[in-house]
A and B are shown apart, each in its own frame.
Chain A
Amino acid sequence: MSTVRERSGPRKVSRPPRAAPGRPGGRDGARPGSLWPYLLIAPAVLGMLYLLVYPLARAVLISFQDFRLRQLILGDADFVGLRNYRTLLGDPQFWEVVRRTFVFMAVNVAAIMVLSTLVALMAERLGRAARTVVLSSLVLVWAVPVVAATTVFQWLFHSEFGIVNETLTGLGLSSYEGYTWFAHGGTAFAIVVVLIVWQSVPFAAITLYSALVTVPAELYESARMDGAGGARVLRSVTFPLIRPIFMLVLSLEVIWTFKAFVQIWVMTCGGPGEATTILPVYAVQTALAGQRYDLGSAASMLTVLLMSGVLVLYFRQLFRQEGEQL
């Protein structure tokens, strides 16, 4: 577990244990029963209640009602019990969206984790100058706003003047001349995946890299002296030590790809046809385009339900590491 705490090594401010709140005999703690702490957190609590809990409760409510354009304007929505959920779960199209969401997530997360682990291992082995260049370019990618990156990818894969088509044609693949990437389901899906992987690898790679550098060099040396080869060292020394961080990044990436909305909405709006419609996109389309706010809410709530499973894993991992700070 010590690797975990050392992870925050580069951070400038460390947390000396004596600053831990609630320590016995803390001269510093307010008198029990004092109102001050509650006044200090009141705005944050109110914010969370009104801007998170209330919308969530409202979404649950709408998902149990008959809520369409009429009810949006006039109010007085009727309760229909589980009808919306039954409609959704009985709709083969919905199951197709669920299936696509999981495929989308699996492909993205697998690519992100493999590539970022490779990049992190590579960065660790590089010399100082080369490593700075690699890490800086990763940070640069991380910083590109989603909408800007999405627009740039549309331009890269533009059918007529896009650099990708021109390069492929130049390499002799003449079938790519004027190829319309976004008109075909498979290729549109692939481009969204490439975009999301490109945007997500920097966070994962940098986090894994900062976990890797906390592995003590002596461990590697003694493993080598025991005659372990490179692959063996990786499997028996490196991976077990960075496993907690790896799992943390993995669960974060699962959640984030599950929520990938902006890239798809800006690039394809879920199309062509339905090829890139994943759950969040489906929910918004159902609600705002089809005026079925009830079905859209039900789909959103099912998304949250599916996601919360991963969230629980994430929090377990997080608190196992940071538990002592709570």
Chain B
Amino acid sequence: MSTSRPSARRALRRLPLHAAAALTVVICLFPVYWMVTTAFKPSTDIQSYDPRLIPRAWTFDHFRRAVGADGFALFWRNSILVTLSAVLLALVVALGAAYAVARLRWRGRRQFVLAVFIAQMAPWESLIIPIYIISRDTGMLDRLPTLTLIYFMITLPFTVIVLRGFIAGIPPELEEAAQVDGCTRAGAFRKVAFPLLAPGLMATSLFGFITAWNEFTYANFLIIKQQDSRTLPVWLSSFQSTFGTDWGATMAASTLFALPALAIFLALQRHVAAGLASGGVKG
């Protein structure tokens, strides 16, 4: 059909396609680009009626102000602490449950898996009020362990679902061989299957990390009086009121907050499409 003028015509025909691709990339990247460049621009350029797409001069002032802001180090520490403990807890608990589901036969297994799938879609936004009241009644308001427990529960179902897949993918014969050689059942799992699971554990824990790192709602409503127990998302959301119209510092804070999540996502890009899509998980 296109033997007469192949390449030129082909390029012309693909022009709209490439224009659409370029437009998609621009729409995706512009807000992120604007966040980062605003963070690096001198204040006079930010508050100007003649915005420049490429900064004229670069400055670290905004980052210095954001990092030097009251409690930044503390909130950073809180966020890391809550996130890491929630993810670790979820990992340990999920590993046991995933092993039971993938390898053992027992009555109620199907029901358990169904419950995990339902828990994955739990309406957390609609549980704010009872959880607030329960935390208040048990004296758990304003305390970081409360957030740890909730983030543990938010990440647990997904961790179970994904680890189950990874464990089922390891041939049981490997462990059986180790058992024949004199290992106990637990020892066989630890020495043979566990090393093979490492990539799966890595991927799930990083996605759990991002979920907990970004969580805003419960951090906002359960930490009220004790300002020292706040986490970074809440700090960022109140940043503007603290800093007034200092958009440079606000964007610097956003950049600092987004950086760990961006780094993890880009590093895990290969797993993102398949792994998350099947678990029904939004980043």
Contact indicator B276/A203 (Cβ below 8 Å): yes
A255 surroundings in chain B (CB, below 8 A) = 121
In the complex with contacts A139-B269, A140-B266, A152-B34, A21-B103 CB distance below 8 A: yes
Interface SS majority for chain A: helix
Query: A216: CB under 8 A from chain B?
Result: no
B108-124 residues at the A interface, CB under 8 angstroms: 109-110, 112-119, 121-124
Say yes or no: A137 contacts B25, CB within 8 Å.
Answer: yes
Interface string of B185-205 (1 = CB under 8 A from A): 000000000000001100000
The SS class assigned to the B binding surface is: helix
- A residues 37-61 near B (Cβ < 8 Å) are 37-41, 43-45, 47-48, 51-52, 54-56, 58-59
Q: A149-B31, A155-B38 are in contact. Are A142 and B125 (CB under 8 A)?
A: no
Are B266 and A143 closer than 8 Å at their CB atoms? yes
Residues of chain A with a CB closer than 8 A to B239's CB: 151
Which of B55-63, B68-76, B168-176 is found at the contact surface with chain A? B168-176
Q: How far is the CA of A265 from the CA of B238 in the complex (A)?
A: 12
> How far does the alpha carbon of A144 sit from the alpha carbon of B36 in the complex, in Å?
12
**For residues 273 through 315 of chain A, which have their beta carbon under 8 Å from a beta carbon of chain B?**
280, 283-284, 287-288, 293, 296-297, 300-301, 303-304, 307, 311, 314-315
B126–A72 CB distance below 8 A: no
Instruction: List, in ascending order, chain A residues with CB within 8 A of B51's CB.
Output: 161, 163, 166
A287 to B18: give the CA distance in the assembly, Å: 50
The chain A residue sitting closest to B36, CB to CB, is: A152
Q: Which of A10, A119, A155 contacts B247 (CB 8 A)?
A: A155
Q: Do residues B121 and A148 form an inter-chain contact, with CB atoms below 8 A?
A: no
Number of interface residues of A (CB under 8 A): 115
> Does B97 sit within 8 A of A, measured CB to CB?
yes
Q: Is A206 an interface residue (CB 8 A)?
A: yes
B144 to chain A, nearest CB (A): 16
Stretch in A94-102, A103-111, A128-136, A232-240 with 4+ CB within 8 Å of B: A128-136
Instruction: Take A28-B172, A51-B149 as given contacts and tell me if A130 and B21 are in contact as well, using a CB distance cutoff of 8 Å.
Output: yes
Contacts of B156 in A (CB 8 A): 44, 47-48
- Asked if A252 contacts B35 (CB within 8 A), the reply is no
Q: Are B217 and A261 in contact (CB under 8 A)?
A: yes
Most buried by A among B51, B125, B156: B125
| B106/A38 in contact, CB under 8 A | yes
Q: Which of B32, B103, B122, B236 contacts A144 (CB 8 A)?
A: B32
- With both beta carbons as reference points, the residue of chain A lying nearest to B256 in the complex is identified as A148
Chain A residue with Cβ nearest B258 = A148
Instruction: Tally the A-B contacts, defined by beta carbons under 8 Å.
Output: 325
> Is A161 a contact partner of B48 (Cβ separation < 8 A)?
yes
Taking a contact as CB atoms under 8 Å apart, the answer to whether B119 and A266 are in contact is no
* Option from B97, B112, B136, B274 in Cβ contact (under 8 Å) with A72: B136
Residues of A within 8 A of B264 (CB): 143
Is there contact, CB below 8 Å, between B128 and A284? yes
User: Quick one: given A122-B20, A137-B25, A259-B123, are A41 and B277 in contact (CB under 8 Å)?
Assistant: no
Residues of A close to B165: CB separation below 8 A: 11, 13, 15
CB neighbours (8 Å) of A122 from chain B are 17, 20-21, 24
Q: Report, as a range, how many residues of chain B touch the other chain.
A: 35 or more
Alpha-carbon separation in the docked complex, A161 to B47 (Å)? 6
B262-280 interface (Cβ within 8 A of A): 262, 264-266, 269-278, 280
Residues from chain B with Cβ under 8 Å of A265 in the complex: 216-217, 220
Contact B236 A148 (CB under 8 A): yes
- A137, B270: Cβ atoms closer than 8 Å: no
A113-133 vs B, Cβ < 8 Å mask (1 yes, 0 no):
000001100110110001001
Question: Which residues 255-271 in A have Cβ within 8 Å of B in the complex?
Answer: 255-256, 259, 261-262, 265-266
A-B contact pairs, 22 of them (CB 8 A): A7-B278, A11-B165, A21-B101, A27-B176, A28-B176, A32-B105, A48-B115, A137-B28, A143-B261, A147-B233, A148-B257, A151-B239, A152-B34, A155-B251, A161-B47, A163-B34, A200-B282, A259-B126, A287-B128, A300-B129, A304-B126, A326-B110
Q: A44-B160, A51-B152, A210-B273 are in contact. List 11 more A-B contacts (CB 8 A).
A: A16-B169, A36-B104, A37-B109, A62-B133, A142-B265, A145-B213, A147-B257, A155-B34, A198-B31, A297-B129, A322-B278
B residues whose Cβ falls under 8 Å from a Cβ of A: 17-18, 20-21, 24-25, 27-29, 31-32, 34-35, 38, 46-51, 93-94, 96-97, 99-107, 109-110, 112-119, 121-134, 136, 149-150, 152-153, 156, 160, 165-166, 168-172, 176, 199-200, 210, 213-214, 216-217, 220-221, 233, 236-237, 239-240, 247, 250-251, 254-255, 257-258, 261-262, 264-266, 269-278, 280, 282-283
